[in-house]
Amino acid sequence: YHVIWTLMARRHQNQSLVDNGNLTIVLPDRRIGKDPQIYNYLSPRAAKVIENEVRRMFNRDLHTAMDENDLNGHELNNLDIVHKFLCSYCIDSITEDALLKNFYRWRENIRKRKRRREYKKKLKRD
Q: What is the reported pLDDT for 19?
A: 66
Cβ atoms of 38 and 70 closer than 8 Å: no
Q: What is the reported pLDDT for 63?
A: 93
Burial 60-83 (b: 16+ CB within 10 A, else e): eebbebbeebeeeeeeeebeebbe
What is the model's pTM? 0.71
Q: 64-104: per-residue pLDDT in tens?
A: 999 888 888 777 888 999 999 999 999 999 999 999 999 99
Cα(7)–Cα(47) distance, rounded to whole angstroms?
Answer: 9
Can you give the residue ranges of every domain in the chain? 1-42, 53-116
